[in-house]
Amino acid sequence: MLTRLTGGTVLDPSEAAGETSRDLWIEEGRIVAPPEDGRRPDRDYDVTGQLVLPGAIDIHSHIAGGKVNLGRLLAAADHRRNGERAEALLRGGGGLATPSTFITGYRYAAMGYTAVFEPAMVPSNARAAHLEMADVPIVDKGAYVMLGNDEFLLRRLAEGAGQSEINDYVAWMMQATAAHAVKVVNAGGISAFKFNARGLGLDEKGPHHGVTPRIIIRTLARAVHELGVPHPLHVHCNDLGIPGNITTTLATIDAAEGYPIHLTHAQFHCYGTEGRRRFSSAAALLAEAVNRNTNVSIDVGQVVFGPTMTLSGDTQAQFRTRRHAHPDTWISMDIECDGGCGIVPFRYRDRNFVNALQWAIGLELFLLVEDPWRVFLTTDHPNGGPFASYPQLVKLLMEPAWRAECLAQIHSAARKASLLSSLDRRYTLREIAIMTRAAPARSLGLADRGRLTPGALADIAVYAPEPDLEAMFREPALVLKGGAEICRRGRLVAVPMGATQLVRPGYDRQVEKRLRRFFDDHMTIGFAQFPLGQQELAEAGLRLEERECAEAGGRL
């Protein structure tokens, strides 16, 4: 079937040209050049004067896995409160912070998002995480496997294993868990928590293995690079949420030694200790480091005022946060020898000094990092706030006057402590399109996404211009997934299932000998049963899309 979008203002963020008024042609789910033989389209959408963008991609959003389910358990009130206005949605589970799988897919698609990445898949929970993600309709998805506190890795690092063995282990684990990328959460700190450590400095030896977070981060960043995995090591730094943690974050950039790294929810990691309250913004310092180090990208993890659920693999940080639980209930747990997780309900308040400054710090980061290819729009859903608030963030970035109005509402001492009133940068549409489409596509190695040139997948969001940018980005006029119409003016018209993105780097099978022994001695699941088989995943209904590794990343 040949489809045409006629008369739209096409903004392809992968191209240097700005908006152009032209028709877009689609065949077999992909964008094609206009037919030269004068063929007529089978289907024609008149989008005259409307903005045509590639589908948006969320690089970091907790949509599946054990901790999301535990979050749902603690979020009954959220589901009741938001269930009634679950716009034309067919099923319950409509909470904002931890919606059901169905509503997660519906809401993302209805906002023009066509791919979402779950950033914290614990290896031993990979099977459940994938089955749950397979239940999220419409959007494509993928998962980052969490390493860096796993017993095997820490033990082998302590025993002096070489880089090539670690590379083989990382590749084996990515294949075994059908992962798209590798994440490290509080390197060494989750392991240390099991031995009663309440923190672990970057150069502090872990209490059990004697391995420092610096070594873990450097080794993993190098492994991911040398294996040619497109997305760099995805790093949740140590000392999350602690005043003064900017020192750790800057040292983490240093620890990467030039290897590509992505610092996630950077807002939670750029705090200073200035002022009477000993809590200040260090966004300028972090932004300066990001601007200078081109091997570094970040996503912000913007705070949004209101109730939400915090869920993290970082048991140390969540154990600290439990004191602020709202309502007063929380969960912390350990999972096999892999990692852990902590769940704490939370309410961000604009009249609370710390929360208000967190809000401002996130915006400072967005505005101070110069290159939109290296800063991504996230709320670390649902940790900083629900993903449904993205349209509001776009408006905050594009409208300095509205930003100033919002700034005037927050805790006055936080307002005075923030640089925000002096930042008049206005994001352009093209910059928004880069940070939400082309940049995540490039960072994740999704060569056929984030652009509108021939060969690209026809994942498309069309927006009707409106004076209120939040309203405009909340409800696209039209959303296509793989060329098929999914959503019109917020109304879903079809619910296809998206594909699971994964990367399968090669490895030397020698590593399996040692792993088998480790599994026999320590794990509750057998070595043969642990890996997810391609056939098993296919039978469970997953459509796998393997992404290529770069030609051996090689040494720097």
CB of 195 to Zn ion, least distance (A): 24
User: Residue holding tokens 């290897």?
Assistant: 259
CB of 379 to Zn ion, least distance (A): 9
> Which of residues 167 and 318 has its CB atom nearest to Zn ion in the complex?
318
Q: Which residues have a Cβ under 8 Å from the Cβ of 526 and sit 6 or more positions away?
A: 519
| C-alpha torsion angle, residues 268, 196, 174, 163 (rounded to 10) | 100
Cα separation, 539 vs 533, in Å, equals 10
118 lines the binding site for Zn ion (CB under 5 A)? no
Q: Maximum Cα–Cα distance for the chain, whole Å?
A: 72
> Which of residues 132 and 380 has its CB atom nearest to Zn ion in the complex?
380
CB of 312 to Zn ion, least distance (A): 6
> Which of residues 61 and 101 has its CB atom nearest to Zn ion in the complex?
61
CB of 409 to Zn ion, least distance (A): 27
Element (H, E) at 183: strand 181-185
> Which of residues 12 and 380 has its CB atom nearest to Zn ion in the complex?
380
> Which of residues 267 and 392 has its CB atom nearest to Zn ion in the complex?
267
Total binding residues toward Zn ion, as defined by CB under 5 A: 1
User: Residue holding tokens 């505005």?
Assistant: 367
> Which of residues 226 and 380 has its CB atom nearest to Zn ion in the complex?
380
CB of 332 to Zn ion, least distance (A): 16
Could you say which residues in the range 135-154 bind Zn ion, by CB under 5 A? none
CB of 117 to Zn ion, least distance (A): 10
Rg of the chain over all Cα atoms, to the nearest angstrom: 23
Long-range contacts of 191-200 (CB under 8 A, 24+ apart): 191/149, 191/151, 191/154, 192/316, 193/315, 193/316, 193/319, 193/340, 194/334, 194/340, 197/316, 198/316, 198/319, 198/320, 199/238, 199/239, 199/242, 199/316, 200/238, 200/316
Per-residue binding string, Zn ion, 363-402, x by CB under 5 A, is -----------------x----------------------
CB-nearest residue to Zn ion: 380
CB of 265 to Zn ion, least distance (A): 6
CB of 384 to Zn ion, least distance (A): 9
By CB neighbour count within 10 A (0-12 exposed, 13-18 middle, 19+ buried), where does 524 fall? exposed
Sequence-ordered alpha helix ranges (H) in 89-245: 101-110, 126-133, 151-158, 163-176, 189-193, 213-227
Partners of 280 in the beta sheet? 272
Could you say which residues in the range 240-259 bind Zn ion, by CB under 5 A? none
Cα separation, 551 vs 476, in Å, equals 38
DSSP code per residue over 195-228? TT-S---TTSPPTTT---HHHHHHHHHHHHHHHT
Cα separation, 361 vs 43, in Å, equals 47
Strand ranges (DSSP E) for 11-162?
Answer: 20-27, 30-32, 43-46, 51-54, 56-58, 113-121, 140-147
DSSP code per residue over 379-407? -TTTTSS-GGGHHHHHHHHH-HHHHHHHH
CB of 263 to Zn ion, least distance (A): 12
> Which of residues 175 and 443 has its CB atom nearest to Zn ion in the complex?
443
> Which of residues 140 and 380 has its CB atom nearest to Zn ion in the complex?
380
> Which of residues 212 and 379 has its CB atom nearest to Zn ion in the complex?
379
CB of 383 to Zn ion, least distance (A): 6
Task: Report which DSSP code applies to 294.
Answer: T
> Which of residues 151 and 380 has its CB atom nearest to Zn ion in the complex?
380
> Which of residues 175 and 310 has its CB atom nearest to Zn ion in the complex?
310
Cα separation, 75 vs 33, in Å, equals 48
CB of 329 to Zn ion, least distance (A): 21
Interacting residue ranges for Zn ion, rule: CB under 5 A:
380
